[in-house]
Structure 1
Amino acid sequence: MKDASLDGFLGGRLRLRQSAAGHRSGTEAELLAAATPQHQQGLILDVGAGSGAVGLMAALRAPGAIVGLVEIDPESCALARENVAENALGARATVYQADVLAAKSRRAAGLIDEKAALVLTNPPFHDAGKVRVTPDAAKARAHVASAPLIDWVRACLALLAPGGTFVMIHRADALAECLAAVEGRIGGVSIQPIHTRADAPATRILLAGVKGSKAPLSILKGIVV
């Protein structure tokens, strides 16, 4: 694709084409993908996949799993398909162009509810009206939510099998909203704060839980990046 750069992740094990002007994956994608157990089996879905960074890193971490990259933006889907081919993952990775918020769109793309063993998601972090929105439509879509977070989470959990694991990265100051979105839907919730400095407040959180679990919430040791 024109105006795309080729970047290395995981010490060069993954080569990723990304839009030079649009949303670009980085540390957040690496942290989210690192939540994938190396022994993971079954279907892993990267919801809001962009050019595929999280899902393809997850595929390399868990060689026994298959991966679905779920993305609404056509240009990002095109890049994701290039990245699947670039990394020789065509036998294990599929790109699904779909509006994850719409069940009809998910079904039309070939996604089946309650099939994923693991759902990884980096949803749009910001609410429209609370931030200045970039004129770049694709970049805006990646960063500014078109619907409440609870709707995004419900859609992700619709795709997750009972007993499957959900992992989301989000802003630390949105913790209350994140907990409200998963309340009654997953259990065994863990919160892992992410700090840019050891002496600074967390800027991000990793939230994980199991569909159908009744286990209590836990707060994990923070990560400094």
Structure 2
Amino acid sequence: MPPSTLFSSTFPKSSLTVFQDKSLFCFGIDAVLLADFSQVKKGGNVFDLGSGNGIIPLLMSRTTPAKHFTALEVQSESAALASKNVEVNHLEEKIDVICGDIKNVRTLFKPECADTVTSNPPYAKENAVRKNPNQAKNIARHEVLCTLEDVVCAAAYLLKSGGSFYMIHRPERLSEIFTTFTKYHLEPKTLQLVYPFVDSSPTMIMIEGRKNARPELKILPPLVIYKEKGEYTEAVRKIIAIAT
């Protein structure tokens, strides 16, 4: 019998246990940062697009006043793992996991049913960089099954007017993100650049787009992840402390 690829991560402060599978895409610091960046009003209804093992709804269920979460994941193995994580943490009444395609949101859900939508989508275009030989990880990292526009279009469909879409992505695609947001009536409202080190270029951006909002973009101070190799900055330690 081959060795198990399943392992668990614990978040003592949040009383969470999150199972991951080495053969599937495993979450990183970007998911934790996005969960902290995303804002939810009390009693809000949240959708997470491309949810993987459910890490973002799991974290936000502990750190926000949202009433309910829907985790949409196209890969059946990842969706099953997300369901397992929901059950292990006794969150069945708060988080629903749906195995389905982002491109099919119109057949899966009613329009304007979400107050907030989050997504940590594939960053790379399908043929932009060398693909991972592991197809599950390839789908999570490259736009094989969905594009940036597919994700933004789905978010806009789900959001109520005035609702917010929170996404983490790559800075080199920021111009495309702005253009796509505008096409689907999501006004960029908040932007934060994420740097691995203080003297490096940004490698991630976090952005909020608000549906049918007036133009006014707030740029937050840069977020630096590492003080030095292997040591988080105080700002990131605070975020992790809240989540974990």
Fold equivalence (TM over 0.5): yes
**1:66-124 alpha-carbon deviations (Å, 9 max, x no partner):** 111010000001000000011111111100111011245x42xxx22210111000111
Matches within 5 A, 1:1-225: 2-9=4-11, 11=13, 13-37=15-39, 39-103=41-105, 106-107=107-108, 111-146=109-144, 147-184=146-183, 185-225=185-225
Q: In structure 2, the residue corresponding to 1:54 is in which secondary structure?
A: helix
> Contact (CA 8 Å) 1:118, 1:166: kept in 2 or not?
yes
Q: CA deviation at 1:177?
A: 1.3
- Which moves more between the two structures, 161-170 or 40-49? 40-49
Unaligned runs of 5+ in 1: none
**1:191-220 alpha-carbon deviations (Å, 9 max, x no partner):** 100011112111100010211101322321
Q: CA deviation at 1:141?
A: 0.8
- Which moves more between the two structures, 87-96 or 179-188? 179-188
Unaligned runs of 5+ in 2: 226-244
- Which moves more between the two structures, 182-191 or 23-32? 182-191
User: RMSD in angstroms over aligned alpha carbons?
Assistant: 1.7
Matches of 1:78 and 1:121, distance apart in 2: 19
Determine what percentage of the aligned residue pairs are the same residue: 29
> Contact (CA 8 Å) 1:37, 1:61: kept in 2 or not?
no
Partner AA of 1:144 in structure 2 = H
> Contact (CA 8 Å) 2:50, 2:74: kept in 1 or not?
yes
TM (norm. structure 1) is 0.91
Which structure's relative contact order is higher, taking Cα pairs within 8 Å and 6+ residues apart?
A: 2
Q: Which has the greater radius of gyration? A: 2
> Contact (CA 8 Å) 2:14, 2:62: kept in 1 or not?
no
Q: In structure 2, the residue corresponding to 1:167 is in which secondary structure?
A: strand
> Contact (CA 8 Å) 1:100, 1:156: kept in 2 or not?
no
Q: In structure 2, the residue corresponding to 1:187 is in which secondary structure?
A: strand
Aligned length: 220
Matches of 1:143 and 1:135, distance apart in 2: 12
Change (3 A) 1:11 1:20: farther
Matches of 2:22 and 2:125, distance apart in 1: 24
**1:129-149 alpha-carbon deviations (Å, 9 max, x no partner):** 111112222111100103431
> Contact (CA 8 Å) 2:188, 2:207: kept in 1 or not?
no
Q: CA deviation at 1:53?
A: 0.3
- Which moves more between the two structures, 113-122 or 184-193? 184-193
Q: CA deviation at 1:13?
A: 2.9
